[in-house]
Structure 1
Amino acid sequence: MDSIEIKTNKVSAAEDLEKVFAIRREVFVGEQNCPPELEWENEEESTHFLATVNGEPAGAARWRKTENGYKLERFAVLKQYRGKGVAQAVVQAVLNDLPADADYIYLNAQVQAMGLYGKFGFVAEGPEFEEAGIQHYKMVFKGSR
């Protein structure tokens, strides 16, 4: 297998945000049929990340401060890059970027992604719920950073 280089960077330039949004559009709206109007909210107060594989856009995520704590959201990896470690690189980059005093870190995990977040120390709390037609669990970070 060819070696691949995965890079995850915090982005704020318009051209990079366009790549982030394009990845999310393809994964959430195209693949998972999420309503587009639910997909584009809280962009301004979020910190965005773009993952690349050998320089090509491959994954995205964001975090934002809410009244509850720090919420990790919108993790997406394009289909052709799944299973190559991109998701792990993105989760790690987002965790690394959170302020040192971020004491309550949480996310709403799609059921099939719970194993990924579990590897980083996230633990499911509360009942299963539906968001945009997809089953989720709230997961809270109990690991160490």
Structure 2
Amino acid sequence: MNNDIRVTKVSNPADLEKVFAIRREVFVVEQNCPPELEWENEDVSIHFLATVNGEPAGAARWRKTDNGYKLERFAVLKQFRGKGVAQAVVQTVLDDLPADAGYIYLNAQVQAMGLYGKFGFVAEGPEFEEAGIQHYKMVFKGSR
């Protein structure tokens, strides 16, 4: 079966609800992240929704911080994993950043570090815990 993967920047309430539903399923339900830690900085973030054959499948966001541009909340629903959705989301988010975006970083869950590494992100600093999950800060060293 051919998977038609599309990743779009979204801002209307109906699409944002799909984004938040994906994050709720992946982070709060599946990974047991505290809900109060999941919902922050929504109004200052640029949100993305990934679909597979028209079905909501993944989400992510980026925002400008005092340090640079932070990529966050990458989530793919379990039934869509292993189909290229995460790669499409990472590439779309990177492509959407301003051309002059200098410092680009994210906090990667340990099991996702290989994905981000393929795009030129490099781990910096020690492993740390965030919302009960082990992470590494990763900084973009690739080219866009």
Corresponding residue of 1:123: 122
Residue 23 of structure 1: CA displacement? 0.0
Secondary structure at the counterpart of residue 100 of structure 2: coil
- Which whole-Å CA distance do the structure 2 matches of 1:65 and 1:138 have between them? 16
Residue 112 of structure 1: CA displacement? 0.0
Note the residue ranges of structure 1 that are not aligned, 5 or more in a row.
Answer: none
- Which whole-Å CA distance do the structure 2 matches of 1:10 and 1:23 have between them? 15
- Which whole-Å CA distance do the structure 1 matches of 2:90 and 2:12 have between them? 21
Q: Does 1:133 align with 2:132?
A: yes
Corresponding residue of 1:104: 103
The runs of at least 4 consecutive aligned structure 1 residues that moved more than 3 Å come to none
**Among the aligned pairs, what percent are the same residue?**
87
> What TM-score does the superposition give when structure 1 sets the normalisation length?
0.99
- Which whole-Å CA distance do the structure 1 matches of 2:80 and 2:123 have between them? 26
Residue 26 of structure 1: CA displacement? 0.1
| AA aligned opposite 1:45 | V
- Which whole-Å CA distance do the structure 2 matches of 1:3 and 1:56 have between them? 13
Corresponding residue of 1:144: 143
- Which whole-Å CA distance do the structure 2 matches of 1:4 and 1:44 have between them? 31
> What TM-score does the superposition give when structure 2 sets the normalisation length?
1.00
- Which whole-Å CA distance do the structure 1 matches of 2:102 and 2:45 have between them? 18
Note the residue ranges of structure 2 that are not aligned, 5 or more in a row.
Answer: none
| AA aligned opposite 1:61 | A
Corresponding residue of 1:10: 9
Secondary structure at the counterpart of residue 101 of structure 2: coil
**Deviations 1:109-132 (CA, angstroms, capped at 9, x unpaired):** 000000000000000000000000
Corresponding residue of 2:21: 22
Aligned length in residues: 144
Corresponding residue of 1:47: 46
Q: Does 1:72 align with 2:76?
A: no
**Deviations 1:74-119 (CA, angstroms, capped at 9, x unpaired):** 0000000000000000000000000000000000000000000000
- Which whole-Å CA distance do the structure 2 matches of 1:42 and 1:12 have between them? 14
